[in-house]
Amino acid sequence: MADRKKVFAGNWKMNILPSEAADFVSRFCSLVGTPTDDSVILFPPAISLPAVNAALPASSGVTLGVQNVYWENEGAFTGEISVSMARDAGATSVLVGHSERRHIFGETTDETVQKVSAVLQGGLTAVLCVGEKIEARKQGRQNEVVADQLDPVLRRVDESSYSRLMIAYEPVWAIGTGETASPNDAAQMHGFIRDRIRERFAPATADQISILYGGSVKPDNAAELLSMENIDGVLVGGASLDPTTFSRICLSIA
Ligand code: PGA
């Protein structure tokens, strides 16, 4: 099995003011110390990126990302930000296709393909979010839904940029609901995702891509989820908004 480091990603969504960000960072960093090998990624609202970046101690082991980008580099696209803007403001990662983007803002799989492609071309890491709604899970169609979201992106990714691709499996019914996929159900889906990646890339390449789990991850369920095969990290929403709670998740397997 490939030696993949565990990743702890905090998605602040539309929470925490820019003026509150520095306090979060200093409290969080004093609790986690210096995490090794850039294992923690914070995704604040893009407008808070400079404040978070400025507050991070040198060699903090924390890297930053944005929650969304547009695929064009610049131009008349009111309200959007580009990959180069995110990079210039200190981001090294981008969430693409989060379920709230797909289901509240109508983002399509074609758009996620363009976004992942732009992110990788721009030299940043793309964290592609996939996951089924409850109806699909009840009908046993979860693999089909995830494959439909994943395969078009994998077809577009060049094998040379695989090292900057991560997948986050986030069942929509588990996001913000307090309901978590059982470790076995999550591991089953992660295994399925790994198999799809292996169909696209050479096995050694496929085995290096991290697959994160997201959906009501908390300090008391993180370690068990992370102990499962192919669960290489967690993408945390609600529980990442409090520095103490998020630090407990980040330290749960220390
Ligand atoms: P949650 O959100 O941890 O609040 O369920 C996860 C996410 O949407 O990334």
So what's the pLDDT on residue 253?
86
Q: b/e for 234-243, b at 16 or more Cβ within 10 A?
A: bbbbbbbbeb
Distance 69 CA to ligand 1 centre (A): 19
Beta-strand pair 93-96/233-236:
unpaired
Residue nearest to atom 6 of ligand 1 (CA): 237
Q: Residues 133, 173: contact at Cβ < 8 Å?
A: yes
Residue nearest to atom 1 of ligand 1 (CA): 237
Residue 3: pLDDT band (50, 70, 90) is: confident
pTM: 0.96
Q: Which atom of ligand 1 lies closest to the CA of 235?
A: 9
Q: Which atom of ligand 1 lies closest to the CA of 95?
A: 9
Residue nearest to atom 7 of ligand 1 (CA): 237
CA angle 186, 142, 99 (to 5 degrees): 80
Q: How far apart are CA 70 and CA 80, in angstroms?
A: 6
**pLDDT score of 18 more than 90:** yes
Distance 151 CA to ligand 1 centre (A): 23
Distance 239 CA to ligand 1 centre (A): 8
Ligand 1 pocket, Cβ-based, cut-off 6 angstroms: 11, 170, 175-176, 214-217, 235-239
Highest-pLDDT range among 1-15, 50-64, 232-246: 232-246
DSSP per position, 26-95: HHHHHHH-S-GGG-EEEE--GGGHHHHHHHSPTT-SEEEEES--BSSSSSS-TT--BHHHHHHTT--EEE
Residue the block writes with tokens 């993180």:
222
Distance 240 CA to ligand 1 centre (A): 9
The pair of structure tokens assigned to 206 is 């496929």
The residues annotated as belonging to the active site are 98, 170
Residue 59: pLDDT band (50, 70, 90) is: confident
Q: Which residue among 217, 240, 242 is best mutated to probe the pocket of ligand 1, counting the most ligand atoms within 8 A of its Cβ?
A: 217
High-pLDDT (> 90) share of the chain, %: 86
Distance 131 CA to ligand 1 centre (A): 12
**pLDDT score of 1 more than 60:** no
Q: What is the mean pLDDT of residues 101-109?
A: 97
> Where is 166: in which H helix or E strand?
strand 165-169
Instruction: Spell out the alpha helix ranges (H) of the chain.
Output: 18-32, 49-55, 83-88, 99-103, 109-121, 134-138, 142-156, 183-200, 203-206, 219-226, 243-250
Q: What is the pLDDT of residues 142-185, one digit of tens each?
A: 999 999 999 999 999 988 898 899 999 999 999 888 888 899 99
Q: Which atom of ligand 1 lies closest to the CA of 11?
A: 9
- Residue 46: CB atoms within 10 A of its CB come to 17
Distant-in-sequence, close-in-space partners of 122: CB < 8 Å, separation ≥ 6: 73, 82, 83, 84, 87
Q: Which atom of ligand 1 lies closest to the CA of 129?
A: 9
